Structure 1
Amino acid sequence: MNESNAIVLGDFIEPESSDFEGSLVFSIKAAYIEKGKLWKSKDITAEFLGDFWKAMLDVEHIKPTLHFVCAELLENAVYHSVKSDYLIKIQLCFKTDELLIYVKNSADTKKIEELKKFVRSVLEEKNLQKLFIKKMKEAKKSGCKKSQVGLITIIKDRGAKLSWKLDPGPEITSVTTLARINLKKKET
């Protein structure tokens, strides 16, 4: 993938290890695990990550938020990965006031315009509840299982900030999704 052709959507920051107090990385080569098993293991992986970071950070609300965000991003990575020998990578990085979750996977370059259009609609939408309802209605009407509400829910209900980095190639595009979770307690 050519770094100079990278497309950034949202406020994406590179995972520079010197900027973090801690980091944890899982990499899975899709060719060695049946896609169905990989799909099922996303919840186990997300549960482990939630438990691990809750214990490390002693932040009560982090486990359910982290579990949901990781499960959703891993589900998308497994669903959209197209090249069997490509790595699906999840990296969690801890900074003083936030947890950054990077999930990297492959995607069919032909489908990237559709992804960019959807991502822009999510990032630009002022009323995420309205977009959520619209996507649910569209999925129901078309009979499609792909409602696209998971990413909306990550922002709307879990308070995460999302961004993407796309490194396009002729057939395969590397997609890195970043979810940033604020660790500071919200003032009431």
Structure 2
Amino acid sequence: MNYLAHFHLSHGSDDLLIGALLGDFIKGPLKGERKPSIEQGIFLHRKIDAYTDSHPLLKQAHQLFSPHYRRYAGIMTDVAFDHFLNQHWQQFHPDSLRLFSQQVFQLITSSDQLTPPAKRQAENLARYDVFEHYQHWETVEAALERISQRLLRDNPLASGAREMQGHYSTLEDIFLQFYPELQQHTRELRKAFR
């Protein structure tokens, strides 16, 4: 999943939210170098990604794409699912997306727990108001283009949004089936933190 979903699934705990962002920047074993609740957030991020990557519905989604894109299908669907979460936000969260975004951006941009790359990412997410802009498919296109440029090897991600657009309705249906299952899985994981 991408940032909006990770933050949504970690909502209700500031430290889990910080860990949700750090999950993309902290690699390897967690050694108690951070507060336990922040490390729980990193752990939760990893478990969410693992569950998503292995889920049959996501495997079904990835089969929609031509072989040229399949190696990158996980990245593509992660970004597209933030778009669908934006589109169906009121179904999954009681607060407006604007209020949720403001609260998350305030927290992550003021945190002193982030690595420098995570801090830059937090500032970019807030500066460009990314979560609200995910209502537009063009934001999916732009996000995939940026990711494409960051990867070391040649890749087709810059045109990934066009590939997915031909399967928009099917991908949306898969998201609406999958996300409640992911929410339930995340609730079970979070129970172990108490």
User: TM-score, length-normalised on structure 2?
Assistant: 0.28
Q: Higher relative CO (CA 8 A, sep ≥ 6), structure 1 or 2?
A: 1
Looking at secondary structure, tell me which structure has more strand per residue: 1
Looking at secondary structure, tell me which structure has more helix per residue: 2
